[in-house]
Amino acid sequence: MPYLSPALNVMISAARKAGRRLIRDFGELENLQVSRKGPADFVTAADERTEKILVEALSIARPGYGFLLEEGGQVEGSDKTHRFIIDPIDGTTNFMHGVPHFAISIGLEREGVVVSALVFNPVIDEMFVAERGHGAFLNDKRLRVAARSNLADIIVASGAPFMGKDGREEFLKEADSILSATSGIRRFGSAALDLAWVAAGRFDAFWERKLQPWDIAAGLLLVREAGGMVSDLTGREQMLKSGDILAANDTLHRTLLSMIREAGK
């Protein structure tokens, strides 16, 4: 059984509450109000409603904690040492197209360090959780990153820059290098779930550039607590600042980091 701190229990309760409504929204896609936030970047009534449910539930349980929200931005709290980092629907485009691969992502920072993490896909009821120093779990099952080290045997997840996004040429160079040496790349459209799946050993590695803190805050702790290595693409621990991330087991991390650096030369 996983160790669940009081804060993580609160996060689970909030996510399940929001998830119940999100499942109903997913079943009624034709009735959703959709606006365009940018090229191929949708924001829905469901995004905003899910975020509202999460913030209300967490604020009641942890008054004074701050928030960093995908939709609502930075919300200062009276407690300057704690902050929830929330993506109400990571994989909004999947959600809008009826693809059941999206998640609620919540990370809790304490003095700038992510200490609790949750990634929840309500459609298939997969709840990934981690507590710093206490491991990572999927529905009470302990997680470990995959042990594969032979490049020819691995699959790597990523996110490709789409319409209106910078970095396509850089991504294509990196992808070509990785494709030429591995069993393939997967682009599933949710960084939070990609990282959770690395923690679960479903993917062997994940890399992407220019992500937001709410995309990766929870996932990076899941991978670390599952025994994996996480860094930015320079090998440092500036993922939340730079938005660049690489996650894998120790051996693959070193190899892939070198390949990504070489591809950029």
pLDDT at 87: 98
Tokens of 160: 């490709």
**Do residues 180 and 205 make contact, with C-beta atoms less than 8 angstroms apart?**
no
* CA nearest to 25, candidates 53, 62, 1: 53
pLDDT at 37: 65
pLDDT at 54: 98
Which 8-state DSSP code applies to residue 62?
S
**Do residues 199 and 230 make contact, with C-beta atoms less than 8 angstroms apart?**
no
**Distance from the Cα of residue 191 to its chain's centroid:** 4
Please state, in angstroms and rounded to a whole number, the distance separating the CA atoms of residues 117 and 54: 14
Longest dimension (CA), the chain: 51
In the chain the domains, ranked by start, together with CATH numbers, are: 6-142 (3.30.540.10), 151-263 (3.40.190.80)
Indicate the pTM of the whole model.
0.94
Residues with Cβ within 8 Å of 206's Cβ and at least 6 positions away in sequence, in order, are 156, 157, 158, 191, 194, 195, 197, 198, 245, 246, 247, 248
Please state, in angstroms and rounded to a whole number, the distance separating the CA atoms of residues 175 and 187: 11
Please state, in angstroms and rounded to a whole number, the distance separating the CA atoms of residues 198 and 201: 5
For the chain (265 residues), the mean pLDDT of every run of 10, in chain order, is: 88 98 87 65 83 98 96 93 98 91 98 97 98 96 97 96 78 95 96 98 97 98 98 96 97 97 85
Q: How far is residue 96 from each of residues 90, 93, 107, measured CA to CA in Å?
A: 12, 5, 24
pLDDT at 38: 60
pLDDT at 42: 66
**Do residues 203 and 156 make contact, with C-beta atoms less than 8 angstroms apart?**
yes
Please state, in angstroms and rounded to a whole number, the distance separating the CA atoms of residues 220 and 101: 19
